[in-house]
Amino acid sequence: MTTASRSHAAWFVRGDIDGFFGLALDNFVQLLLIGVLCRTVLGFPDELLLGRILPGVAVSLVIGNVYYAWQARRHAIETGRPETCALPFGINTVSLIAHVFLVMLPAKLAAVAAGHPDPVRIAWQAGLIATVGSGLIETGGAFVADWVRRLTPRAAMLSTLAGIALTFISLGFLFRTYARPLVGLTTLAVVLLVYFGRVRFKGGVPGGLVAVAIGTIIAWATGAAPVGPLSYEGVGLYLPVPVVGDLVDAFTGGHMLTYLSIIIPMGVFNVVGSLQNLESAEAAGDAFPTRSSLLVNGIGTLAAALFGSCFPTTIYIGHPGWKAMGARSGYSILNAVVMAGVCLTGSLAVLAWAIPIEAGMAIVLWIGIVITAQAFQAVPREHAPAVVLGLLPGVAAWGALMAKTGLRVAGFGAPGGPQFGADLVAVFRASDTWIDGAFALEQGFIFTAMILSAATVCIIERRFRTAAVWFLIAAAISATGLMHSFVWTPGDTALVLAPAWPWVSAYGAMAAVVFAARWVTEPGDGH
């Protein structure tokens, strides 16, 4: 590569500003969620949240974002493709919620029941161990994931991501857009104009910056911002400090064995999700090595735990969207610097007061649209039915989440309210709503989506024996409890590592049907 080519693969271009606003908003939402859940659900004091957890988050975000920025620039230099975009990286939302409600909250309640003098520290240590476990699984998965990636059809990888993008990203922000229509729809018009209309604002002002600026101005003008009074309490400098002593206490406290049923599926899901994001990046034109990419993902999570964060990191969904914005390496560096600054200065509340989420949500909504569209655009046309089938488990999981949220709002599962459990299924079924099917699909839906889509691709191509193997894999995973198996908890359902026998037998029957197809069927008319 010549010196001229090397300089052409710039660290920073105009599109990085747009990419930064989108990725930073996504990370910002995770930080807000951490702050709210740690304070209100777990009762963590600011000394722990600001002094240990957020600095640990900063370390993990810097490690991942800086590495993936360097990786993208190296790829651009080696291939002569300066448009290479870095993999997005940040806090894993699903694991964040699981660690709060399924690990740390139970650990705190158990400590309180046992009369422990410091239940908050016990809860935090349980979260640290869960994060270490997730990091170890992610790191180990780096050495086998490439093999999985080679054997899995692209439609199976991309449709799973599309299901998440369509629901957990797009629909959630679409609801918020129509709840604040003047802010949401005006900024959406800007985003659609720039990114789908492929035009630029005069003077070269980035479209993402215009959208956020207009959204902030409208939010302030209409009273949507600020939310609450401005407070500088907690603002200061909080440097990362290794928490080796607490990790030792956590390991000797037995948390790893106690919460293994949460740690294993969360770690595996993170590996599979990151793998799918790598496939999405390659479909968009940026092929990164699987092993090193996933290895740094795991290292980022382990570093988070070492410095006090109880939340895993992951390769983010959304690479095709950032690339379409013109982002390269700089947006990742910007995200690392700004997010680390927020975490290390205790300024999260001040930023949330000044810049409402509504100002940038149109960018995230657009990312979800691009990812969903990619699932159809980057696969052979005849595989479209497999993509649709792969979308459905993600839609079901999101629907189950909405149903459970509605139940909690109504008081079901809340302290003092009616118990949320199996009896409620009968009430749903009376209205012809098979909610237990949604709860079963919700558990391990990433696996379900990928397997159903992969098997459908094989059936479309009349590779019936391979399709049967995919269904047998589904039966095996169901037997471990990583798919479809769940237990009732107060106000929620949770995956449990126990055999889901009805689904084991059902997938076995599917395998038998497609395996026998070569002997009991013949090509239909027009084929």
Distance CA(484)–CA(233), nearest Å, equals 45
Within-domain flag for 2: no
pLDDT grade, residue 396 (50/70/90)?
Answer: very high
Domain termination site, one of 360, 377, 394:
377
Q: Are residues 280 and 386 in the same domain?
A: no
Q: Are residues 433 and 311 in the same domain?
A: no
- Examine the pLDDT at 478 and tell me if it is beyond 50: yes
Highest mean pLDDT among 193-207, 253-267, 360-374, 500-514: 500-514
| 3-class state of residue 135 by DSSP | helix
Span 512-522, average pLDDT: 93
Span 120-145, average pLDDT: 91
- Examine the pLDDT at 262 and tell me if it is beyond 80: no
Total domains, the chain: 2
- Examine the pLDDT at 26 and tell me if it is beyond 80: no
Of 389, 498, 490, the closest CA to residue 440 belongs to: 498
Within-domain flag for 237: yes
Q: Are residues 27 and 113 in the same domain?
A: yes
Q: Are residues 410 and 515 in the same domain?
A: yes
Q: Which residues pair with 91 in a beta bridge?
A: 313
- Examine the pLDDT at 492 and tell me if it is beyond 80: no
> What residue has token string 């959208």?
211
Span 365-372, average pLDDT: 84
| 3-class state of residue 91 by DSSP | strand
Q: How many CA atoms lie within 13 A of 182 on its CB side?
A: 10
Distance CA(141)–CA(299), nearest Å, equals 12
Q: What is the pLDDT of residues 241-255, one digit of tens each?
A: 999 999 998 888 776
Span 47-68, average pLDDT: 96
Q: Residue 489 belongs to what H/E stretch?
A: strand 486-489
Q: What is the pLDDT of residue 63?
A: 97
Within-domain flag for 428: yes
pLDDT grade, residue 525 (50/70/90)?
Answer: low
Q: What is the DSSP letter of 66?
A: H
- Examine the pLDDT at 227 and tell me if it is beyond 50: yes
- Examine the pLDDT at 393 and tell me if it is beyond 50: yes
Highest mean pLDDT among 164-173, 219-228, 257-266, 467-476: 467-476
Distance CA(35)–CA(27), nearest Å, equals 12
Q: What is the pLDDT of residue 240?
A: 96
Q: Which residues pair with 89 in a beta bridge?
A: 315
Written as six digits, the tokens of 297 are: 């993902």
Domain termination site, one of 313, 346, 377:
377
- Examine the pLDDT at 277 and tell me if it is beyond 60: yes
Dihedral in degrees, nearest 10, Cα atoms 400, 403, 407, 410? 160
The residue ranking higher by pLDDT, 270 or 74, is 74
Span 485-513, average pLDDT: 86
Distance CA(22)–CA(321), nearest Å, equals 9
Dihedral sign from CA coordinates of 240, 243, 244, 245: positive
| 3-class state of residue 311 by DSSP | coil
- Examine the pLDDT at 86 and tell me if it is beyond 80: yes
Q: What is the pLDDT of residues 411-442, one digit of tens each?
A: 775 544 455 566 778 888 888 999 889 999 99
Q: Are residues 364 and 399 in the same domain?
A: no
Q: How many CA atoms lie within 13 A of 375 on its CB side?
A: 32
Q: What is the pLDDT of residue 299?
A: 95
Range of the domain at 480: 382-520
The residue ranking higher by pLDDT, 109 or 53, is 53
Q: Are residues 169 and 299 in the same domain?
A: yes
Q: What is the pLDDT of residue 446?
A: 85
- How many of the other CB atoms lie within 10 Å of CB of 51? 18
pLDDT grade, residue 464 (50/70/90)?
Answer: very high
Q: What is the pLDDT of residues 317-367, one digit of tens each?
A: 789 888 988 899 999 999 999 999 999 999 988 887 888 888 878 887 887
Within-domain flag for 3: no
The residue ranking higher by pLDDT, 26 or 1, is 26
pLDDT grade, residue 24 (50/70/90)?
Answer: confident
Q: Which CA distances in Å does 68 have to 72, 290, 351, 425? A: 6, 12, 26, 46
Q: What is the pLDDT of residue 54?
A: 96
Number of H-type helices and E-type strands within the chain = 27, 4
Q: Are residues 315 and 366 in the same domain?
A: yes
Domain termination site, one of 377, 400, 433:
377
Q: What is the pLDDT of residues 178-211, one digit of tens each?
A: 999 999 999 999 989 988 888 888 877 878 888 8
Q: Are residues 328 and 390 in the same domain?
A: no
Q: What is the pLDDT of residue 419?
A: 54
Q: What is the pLDDT of residue 85?
A: 95
Written as six digits, the tokens of 336 are: 């690392």
Q: What is the pLDDT of residues 295-311, one digit of tens each?
A: 999 999 999 999 999 99
| 3-class state of residue 225 by DSSP | coil
Q: What is the pLDDT of residue 205?
A: 80
Q: Are residues 240 and 259 in the same domain?
A: yes
Q: Please state the φ and ψ torsions of residue 317, each to the nearest 5 degrees.
A: -70, 145
- Examine the pLDDT at 526 and tell me if it is beyond 70: no
Q: What is the pLDDT of residue 418?
A: 54
Highest mean pLDDT among 3-17, 169-183, 326-340: 326-340
Within-domain flag for 350: yes
pLDDT grade, residue 273 (50/70/90)?
Answer: confident
Q: How many residues does the chain have?
A: 527
Contacts of 189 (CB under 8 A, 6+ apart): none
Distance CA(232)–CA(253), nearest Å, equals 37
Residue 413 near residue 419, CB atoms below 8 Å: yes
Identity (one letter) of the amino acid at 266? M
Of 407, 410, 403, the closest CA to residue 437 belongs to: 403
Distance CA(355)–CA(187), nearest Å, equals 14
What is the overall mean pLDDT for the chain? 87
- H helices of 314-383, where? 319-324, 330-345, 348-354, 361-377
Q: Are residues 265 and 412 in the same domain?
A: no
Within-domain flag for 7: no
Within-domain flag for 8: no
- Examine the pLDDT at 81 and tell me if it is beyond 50: yes
Of 339, 356, 359, the closest CA to residue 347 belongs to: 339
